[in-house]
Amino acid sequence: MDDILKRLGKRIREIRILRGFTSQEAFADYCKMHRTFLGHLETGRKDFRLTTIIRVADALGVTLSDLFAGVEHGEAFMPRRKHAGEIDLQRVRHELDLLEQGVRNLRELASPDNQVQAGVRKARRRARLHEP
């Protein structure tokens, strides 16, 4: 089993680099996991949940079957050929989810309630500075 984990980790690393994530840390941030954990995953030193592999496959823009294809026998990754101009809808959905979360965060920061709370905190700090 350890050999399969190592081969799967090697596959993940290979696809990560193919997809332009040369930095393990950047990819870990993209997957919302700790860099050390991703390092353990890529070297086969950690066992993991299926949900983790699903998240990694989604971030890499591959199906689970593509991710696992040939891993048992140590075969190289063979990406499916897409037709020119074909859009990777899974990747687009993921990017849209990230954008929507960013917009929600910005709206929350800009909300009147948040602005009032920031003003209250600022007033309290000023008051503490002017206390005898």
The domain ranges of the chain are 1-80, 87-132
* DSSP annotation string for 79-95: PPPPPTT---HHHHHHH
Question: What's the pLDDT band for 111 if we cut at 50, 70, 90?
Answer: confident
Confidence check: pLDDT of 106 > 60: yes
- 49 phi and psi angles, rounded to 5 deg: -85, 155
pTM attached to this predicted model? 0.58
Question: What's the pLDDT band for 34 if we cut at 50, 70, 90?
Answer: very high
Nearest CA to 98 out of 17, 51, 45, 29 is that of: 29
- Determine the Cα–Cα distance for residues 2 and 30; give it in Å rounded to an integer: 26
Query: In this structure, which topology does domain 1-80 adopt according to CATH?
Result: 434 Repressor (Amino-terminal Domain) (1.10.260)
Q: Across the chain, what does the average pLDDT equal?
A: 81
Q: What is the pLDDT of residues 47-95, one digit of tens each?
A: 888 888 899 999 998 888 888 888 877 777 776 655 445 667 777 777 7
- Is 91 or 22 the better-scoring residue by pLDDT? 22
